[in-house]
Amino acid sequence: MIAKPLAALLLTSALALTASPASAQDSGALTPKQAEAVRKVVRDYLMEHPEVLAESLEALREKMRAQAEADAHKMLEARKDDVYRSAEDPVSGNTKGDITIVQFFDYNCGFCKQTFDALWDAVKADGKVRVVYKEYPILGPDSVFAARVALVAKAQSQAKYDDLHRALMKFRGRLDEKTVLRIAAEQGFNVEQLKKDVTNPEIDRQLAKVFDLGRSLDIGGTPTFIIGDRILSSALDQTTFRQLIDNARKTGAGKS
């Protein structure tokens, strides 16, 4: 790394510039002339080695990423009941499975739809995975409405939720209110009753709870998956899902 020689050079220069009788008398403080000399050393070095800045920025980004990940893991442990065991959340797959996948998603998120089949192919192939859905409508009012309708379906039964969830995820295009209600009608829901039920304050409370959880885990996008001790904000393919499931099982992380 070039940053280490830079640090050594600056330290040597600073020591050399301050090693004088005058500096000893004033506890090593740099005179204006000495300070300017140090600045020149730094400036000249960076002009000759501009890659140092890129390396330093990359090191800073990595440090910040690692700290954010550590903070998220601490919060994940502190709120594990809200993450894995909230009685209000839709739960599918093998509800008695030994590994849990938690998904934060939005019905208008293209990447969420892209990864839907991959997730379920992996879940079915494994047979021992529990899936917890976190309705996280961050892409506008249409998404909020779709999430409301889905939570109404969940209040009726998990099976009805599963059917509607799949239909909404399989739809290609923008899911506005009219389209959501049409799809719900195709799934056998009473549309007029749905329009009333989506205004229930309980739905607001459930969504607010998930948003609070998402913020505490620093989840800013969808899809975001929690698998084992990992929080992954990206679309994943079936192979990656299966690898993550296997790793979680081997390490004992993400046990249901």
75 vs 83, more confident: 83
Q: Over range 171-194, report the average pLDDT.
A: 97
Range with lowest mean pLDDT among 29-38, 179-188, 211-220, 228-237: 29-38
Euclidean distance between CA atoms 69 and 125, whole angstroms? 30
List strands edge to edge, sheet with 224-227. 91-93, 129-135, 99-105, 224-227, 230-232
Q: What percent of the chain has pLDDT over 90?
A: 66
Written as six digits, the tokens of 161 are 């939720």
Q: What is the DSSP string of 156-173?
A: H-HHHHHHHHHHHHH--S
> Three-state SS across 49-81?
CCHHHHHHHHHHHHHHHHHHHHHHHHHHHHCHH
Range with lowest mean pLDDT among 31-45, 177-191, 200-214: 31-45
On average, the pLDDT of the chain sits at 89
Name the CATH superfamily, with its identifier, for domain 81-251.
Glutaredoxin (3.40.30.10)
CB atoms within 10 A of CB 256: 18
Residue bearing tokens 């019905």: 107
Q: Over range 174-197, report the average pLDDT.
A: 97
pLDDT band at 23 (very low <50, low <70, confident <90, very high): very low
CA–CA distance from 189 to each of 47, 153, 171 (Å)?
Answer: 68, 8, 17
Give residue 24's pLDDT. Answer: 41
Domain spans of the chain? 3-78, 81-251
**Torsional class of 254: left (φ above 0), alpha (ψ -120 to 50), beta (otherwise):** left
pLDDT band at 54 (very low <50, low <70, confident <90, very high): confident
Residue 18 has pLDDT above 70, yes or no: no
Residue bearing tokens 């989506």: 198
* Three-class secondary structure of residue 189 per DSSP: coil
pLDDT per position as a tens digit, 99-135:
999 999 999 999 999 999 999 999 999 999 999 999 9
Residue 30 has pLDDT above 90, yes or no: no
Question: How long, in residues, is the chain?
Answer: 256
Q: What is the DSSP string of 132-146?
A: EEEE---S-HHHHHH
